[in-house]
């Protein structure tokens, strides 16, 4: 590759290599991202003997460079000469696995996990396992935390003696002095358990799990919960009660709310892992307690799970359990003191109606929905409204409409524009469920009122909403109900409202089709081209460009073009600009159709 006299092809690579140590981080980063190009040019041997040693020492660099490096090395096997030489990648990744920055370390571990698969069983024991052991017994906790993530990838592929050593190392890390290492071990416990032989799960993992779940550090105990869920999926049903449940029960009643929160958060996974019988005997009371927890964060997490938990209850006893155990708690949560709890519940409570069926919904759930629709917190009401479809399927929306309407009206007029924005977004959905008649009667005026809201984001959302409504109810409906009102605004004294007319036309023209656009909208747009306000005029130009494709060619030629040409000579710079833009945007269209008609 080394040419005799100044090899031109080397130049770009030389630049890349030099920039590996440029002072500008961005340039270093670019070079690192093209590391494969450099390695390819150097060839496998020089990559192994020169590039990798250099990279091993590069750990002083900025995090983003190190992160990129750690990622690159994960797919470098081919560039060092294939699986036979993959162990050459271990030194740089080992040093990256000890840096203090968590994201870099995690990426290095990810790459190590990846390349571990490319090691032959022999190489794994000769090169990879020693690395894991070095990390596991490193002086600094950064290296020991990294080790935790590597046990599970080598365990299945090594001899039984090495397996024993690996188990021993993992045990040691589970009782490490520093909470960081115990946290890392706890978070990998489940994954490690999965690759262990069942006997060792029982003899090794269970004691570790029990110890971590009663660690003095809250942050370790809460991670043990997740591990518990994974372990539970591995054990045969008859062992669960003795080996896992006491610890999990204890976690659900932990003194620290963060641990209980974790239990609540993982409840559906837990439920699946332990099966129907334990669910019925143990989890139902535990879930009740979590729903009644003294910490709002825990109640909110549990409330979020109400629907999934109920869905996954064994079918034969589902209704009874819900009616006698869960529903009473849910009823209390409806009037919880904390709004996050209420809104978490509101986001899932409607889902119960499909599970409980029509009669129960009407009798038990409907009062709750209605209460939540009147809740003082807008988020709760919004969450109910956004999930109406579930109820619609079961009892039809009519049952609710009497209470729904005041709730919607109130949200539509809420002082916070973000609340108004949220309810607008549900309008098309509501319209579809309530039907055109109900909509015309009760909601249409709201939709029109939003068009003249004083917040632009609301006006914009309102225009978009109209388009979706037209898509739902059809062009004829649009022509009769919406279009006249929209066009009426063209004569408003407020130029912002006149502009809203233009925005609506932009949004509606396609949905309304050529006839309505040409007949009703176009004249209004053209008339507005003489508006006093420049902003309106240039929006006319933009609108004409926008609705151009909907119009037929004669209208374009005869009506649009002259107006745009006139606007192109406007005294206002912006109007001129947008008119010219529109001309060049629509003119091809005009000339094209022109050609079509006359050829």
Residues engaged in binding other proteins (CB under 8 A): 1-8, 10-11, 13-15, 17-18, 20-21, 41-42, 46, 50-51, 53-54, 57-58, 60, 98-102, 140-143, 178-180, 183, 216-219, 254-258, 294-297
Helix (H, G, I), strand (E, B) or coil at 287: helix
We find the least distance from the C-beta atom of residue 188 to other proteins, in angstroms, to be 17
* Total H helices, total E strands in the chain: 43, 0
* Nearest distance in Å: CB 340, other proteins: 10
Convert 227-243 to b/e letters by CB count within 10 Å (16 or more is b): bbbbbbbbbeeebbeeb
When the beta carbons of 109 and 563 are compared against other proteins, the nearer one is 109
Which residue, 65 or 355, has its beta carbon nearer to other proteins?
65
* Total Cβ atoms within 10 A of residue 332: 12
The minimum distance between CB 488 and other proteins, in angstroms, equals: 43
- How far is residue 104's CA from residue 100's CA, in Å, rounded to a whole number? 8
Instruction: Rank residues 85 and 141 by Cβ distance to other proteins and give the closer one.
Output: 141
Smallest gap from Cβ 13 to other proteins, in A, equals 6
3-state secondary structure of 533: coil
Nearer to other proteins, 3 or 236 (CB): 3
d(CA 516, CA 456): 27
Q: Which is nearer to other proteins, 139 or 376 (CB)?
A: 139
What phi and psi values does residue 398 have, to the nearest 5 degrees? -55, -35
Which tokens in the block code for residue 546? 């926008």
Shortest reach from residue 60's CB to other proteins, in Å = 6
CB neighbourhood size of 96 (10 A): 26
With beta carbons less than 8 A apart as the criterion, state whether 526 and 566 touch: no
Measured from the Cβ of residue 94, the count of other Cβ atoms closer than 10 Å reads 19
Q: Which is nearer to other proteins, 337 or 571 (CB)?
A: 337
Q: How many CB atoms lie within 10 A of CB 405?
A: 17
Q: Minimum CB separation from other proteins for residue 592, in Å? A: 51
Q: How far is the CB of 254 from other proteins (least distance, A)?
A: 8
CA–CA distances in Å: residue 524 to residues 125, 291, 502, 530, 545: 80, 59, 9, 11, 15
Alpha helices, DSSP H only, in 117-159? 121-123, 129-136, 141-148, 151-154
Nearer to other proteins, 259 or 427 (CB): 259
Min dist. Cβ of residue 144 to other proteins (A)? 10
By beta-carbon proximity to other proteins, the closer residue of 14 and 126 is 14
Nearer to other proteins, 282 or 293 (CB): 293
Q: How far apart are CB 23 and other proteins at their closest, in Å? A: 12
Contact criterion met (CB below 8 Å) for 208 and 189? yes
Residue 178 Rama label (left phi>0; alpha psi -120 to 50; beta): beta
């Amino acid at each position: 590759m080394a040419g005799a006299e100044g090899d031109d092809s080397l130049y770009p690579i030389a630049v890349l290599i030099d920039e590996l140590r440029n002072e500008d981080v961005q340039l270093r980063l670019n070079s690192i991202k093209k590391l494969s190009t450099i390695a390819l040019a150097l060839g496998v041997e020089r990559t192994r003997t020169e590039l990798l040693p250099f990279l091993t020492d590069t750990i002083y660099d900025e995090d983003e460079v190190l992160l990129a490096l750690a990622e690159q090395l994960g797919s470098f096997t081919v560039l060092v000469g294939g699986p036979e030489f993959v162990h050459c990648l271990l030194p740089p990744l080992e040093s990256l696995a000890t840096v203090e920055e968590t994201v870099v370390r995690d990426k290095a571990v990810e790459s190590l996990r990846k390349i571990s698969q490319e090691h032959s069983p022999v190489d794994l024991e000769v090169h990879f396992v020693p690395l894991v052991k070095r990390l596991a017994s490193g002086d600094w906790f950064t290296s020991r935390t990294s080790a935790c993530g590597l046990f599970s990838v080598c365990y299945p592929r090594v001899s039984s003696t090495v397996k024993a050593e690996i188990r021993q190392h993992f045990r040691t890390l589970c009782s490490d002095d520093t909470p960081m290492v115990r946290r890392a071990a706890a978070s990998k416990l489940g994954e490690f358990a999965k690759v262990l032989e069942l006997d060792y799960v029982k003899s090794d993992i269970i004691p570790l799990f029990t110890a971590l779940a009663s660690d003095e550090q809250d942050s370790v105990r809460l991670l043990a919960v997740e591990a518990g869920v994974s372990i539970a999926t591995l054990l045969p049903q008859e062992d669960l009660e003795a080996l896992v449940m006491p610890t999990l029960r204890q976690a659900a009643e932990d003194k620290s709310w963060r641990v209980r929160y974790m239990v609540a958060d993982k409840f559906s996974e837990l439920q699946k892992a332990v099966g129907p019988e334990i669910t019925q005997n143990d989890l139902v009371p535990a879930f009740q307690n979590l729903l009644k927890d003294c910490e709002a964060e825990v109640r909110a997490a549990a409330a979020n799970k109400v629907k999934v938990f109920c869905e996954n209850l064994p079918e034969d006893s589902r209704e009874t359990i819900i009616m006698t155990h869960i529903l009473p708690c849910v009823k209390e949560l409806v009037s919880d003191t904390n709004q996050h709890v209420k809104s978490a519940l509101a986001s899932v409570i409607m889902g119960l109606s499909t599970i409980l069926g029509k009669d129960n919904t009407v009798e038990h759930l409907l009062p709750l929905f209605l209460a939540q629709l009147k809740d003082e917190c807008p988020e709760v009401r919004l969450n109910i409204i956004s999930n109406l479809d579930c109820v619609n399927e079961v009892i039809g929306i009519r049952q609710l409409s009497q209470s729904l309407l005041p709730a919607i009206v109130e949200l539509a007029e809420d002082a916070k524009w973000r609340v108004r924005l949220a309810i607008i977004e549900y309008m098309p959905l509501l319209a579809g469920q309530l039907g055109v008649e109900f909509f015309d009667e009760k909601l249409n005026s709201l939709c029109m009122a939003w068009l003249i809201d004083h917040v632009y984001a609301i006006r914009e959302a309102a225009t978009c909403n109209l388009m979706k409504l037209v898509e739902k109810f059809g062009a004829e409906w649009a022509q009769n109900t919406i279009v006249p009102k929209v066009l009426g605004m063209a004569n408003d004294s407020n130029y912002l409202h006149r502009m809203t007319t233009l925005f609506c036309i932009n949004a509606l023209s396609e949905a309304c089709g050529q006839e309505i656009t040409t007949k009703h909208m176009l004249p209004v747009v053209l008339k507005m081209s003489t508006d006093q306000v420049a902003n309106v005029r240039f929006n006319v130009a933009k609108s004409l460009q926008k609705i151009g494709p909907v119009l037929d060619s004669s209208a374009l030629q005869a009506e649009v073009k002259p107006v745009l040409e006139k606007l192109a000579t406007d005294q206002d710079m912006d109007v001129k600009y947008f008119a010219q833009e529109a001309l060049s945007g629509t003119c091809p269209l005009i000339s094209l159709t022109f050609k079509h008609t006359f050829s």
